Amino acid sequence: MREFIKWQVVAGLPAGEKGLRAYLLDEEREFFTAASGGEKIPLYREREIDKALFLVSGSGLDDGDYLLPLAQFKRLNLWEAVKCAALEAFQQARTLKINRLYLVMDGAGARGLHKKALEGILLGAYTFDRFKSGDEKKRETFMPEVVVVAGDAGSAGLEAELARIETVCRAVNHVRDLVNQPAGELGPEEFVDEAVRTATECGLKVDLWDENRLRREGWNGLLAVGGGSSRPPRMVSLTYEPEGAAGEVDHVVLVGKGITFDSGGLSLKPGAAMMDMKSDMAGAAAVLGAMEIIGRLGARVRVTGILALAENMPSGTAQRPGDVIVMKNGKSIEVKNTDAEGRLVLADALQLGASLKPSLMVDAATLTGACRVALGIQLAAVLGRDRELVKKLVKAGEESGEILWELPFEEAYLEDMKSDFADLANIGSTPYGGTITAALFLGEFVPEEIPWAHLDIAGPAYPGKKWKYFAPGATGFGARIFAGLVKNLA
């Protein structure tokens, strides 16, 4: 999101104002739009989507009218359809160089849709143009002002709600900036710098582990994975303390995988498979984004975010297939494939999180290609021992439009992770069920008394193409889920 995208709330549509007007109307109002030859086209409904977005040119503009029924987004739920339609309205105003877009949402029950419409615009207007030339960047700088017309919904309190949405969207777009950054620009140390800057701005406490402290304290998963790179591994924790909390409060721990580039190590990936591997730190970026939201908006619970950061590269100092790593908790891991590295750094971060004795713990990682095979690029997997926590995560995802699909945490599959030379292997003995076996591996480093769940966001974190209201590249998937989970806790 750009700093120069402006928005405001007004009670009613100003008379005589020029601008593109986007009306969100109930079908019962029998709104019609004029077509060529004076014919009238009525609003229609499809699959129970009973609202439509009409774009009507303002006074002083050409006489062309625009009809964008939400039914064209029929494979999305109403909230996501509103986001997409509002973005189309914004892009139309942008194309026509219209200074103001009026979102007129005065139908019954429209209040929640104001927030969704602005969210779609603020996330959809994002572009990552840091490396574009001046002329190319200049063509994309015009941004209309968004004017939200509250109507009967009333403007009291609405501006504060929309300001909250803006804060969330800014954090999500910050996540997208990090994930879209070339790996040559963003290694573990640079990620630490960004985390410290964010923590300073948001009032979070920070604790840092460099390679010396990692070695001294026995965080051997990170050291093994980062050993092949000239850029040493790092671990960061950021903690939010609720203001004015009396007595004991719940403590939520969020853990993110942050492989700033994944070559596969000595188990080298094919060239084409490396192209998007700058995005292998999307889990850690999502945790940082969630901590930014929580720090700025507040929460009723203590929250700690842990980022496990390393670069997985081949070299003479890299870990080798067949190596055995002894982890902090004493479990030994045979490395059968150096490209299954994310679970090794997460194991360290989860052990650190468990040492805080949290009320619940969740991790996010672009962990397995198997998850993309199973669920595609639009869904993330959720697995865990605690069904109530899984349900809370699914609910938070439904609220944000980030859909989670539960996969079975089938402990019988752990047999596939046995090693002849260590307690566990870092991959299964068969090519099947990779998302499940990866989650089971992580579960070996989380005490059973801690409610814990794992999100595999390998698909939607970086879909590789334009999707819904997201430009090609990173989506910031997971940050809103984590922030929503914390917000929903009593």
For the domain that residue 34 is a member of, what is the CATH number? 3.40.220
In a domain, 277, yes or no: yes
Q: Which residues, listed in sequence order, are joined to residue 360 by a DSSP beta bridge?
A: 252
Collapsing DSSP to helix, strand or coil, 383 comes out as: strand
Last residue of a domain, one of 119, 151, 183: 151
* C-alpha separations of 369 from 148, 304, 379, 443, 457 in Å: 42, 28, 13, 19, 10
Which of 269, 280, 465 lies closest to 376 in space, CA to CA? Answer: 465
Q: How far apart are CA 272 and CA 275, in angstroms?
A: 6
In a domain, 156, yes or no: no
Are residues 339 and 423 both part of a single domain? Answer: yes
Q: How far apart are CA 290 and CA 174, in angstroms?
A: 11
In a domain, 230, yes or no: yes
Are residues 129 and 278 both part of a single domain? Answer: no
Are residues 429 and 480 both part of a single domain? Answer: yes
Integer distance in angstroms from the first to the last C-alpha of the chain? 31
Q: How far apart are CA 433 and CA 81, in angstroms?
A: 33
Parent domain of 328? 174-488
In a domain, 350, yes or no: yes
- Tell me the CATH number at 296: 3.40.630.10
Total domains in the chain come to 2
In a domain, 411, yes or no: yes
Are residues 319 and 236 both part of a single domain? Answer: yes
In a domain, 144, yes or no: yes
Are residues 31 and 139 both part of a single domain? Answer: yes
Residue 152 pLDDT = 63
Residue 106 pLDDT = 60
Residue 13 pLDDT = 73
Q: How far apart are CA 110 and CA 24, in angstroms?
A: 8
Instruction: Tell me the backbone φ, ψ of residue 365, rounded to 5 degrees.
Output: -160, 145
Residue 28 pLDDT = 38
In a domain, 157, yes or no: no
Are residues 140 and 246 both part of a single domain? Answer: no
What amino acid occupies position 159? E
Are residues 214 and 144 both part of a single domain? Answer: no
Residues known to be catalytic: 269, 343
CA 29 to chain centre: 37
Are residues 373 and 433 both part of a single domain? Answer: yes
Could you tell me the pTM of the whole model? 0.92
Q: What is the pLDDT along the chain (490 residues), one digit of tens a residue?
A: 445 689 999 887 776 666 666 666 443 333 344 444 444 444 433 333 344 444 444 433 343 344 455 656 767 887 898 899 889 889 988 888 888 888 877 655 666 788 999 999 999 999 998 888 776 665 567 899 999 888 766 677 889 999 999 999 999 999 999 999 999 999 999 999 999 999 999 999 999 999 999 999 999 999 999 999 999 999 999 999 998 776 689 999 999 999 999 999 999 999 999 999 999 999 999 999 999 999 999 999 999 999 999 999 999 999 999 999 999 999 999 999 999 999 999 999 999 999 999 999 999 999 999 999 999 999 999 999 999 999 999 999 999 999 999 999 999 999 999 999 999 999 999 999 999 999 999 999 999 999 999 999 999 999 988 999 999 999 999 999 999 999 999 6
Residue 50 pLDDT = 42
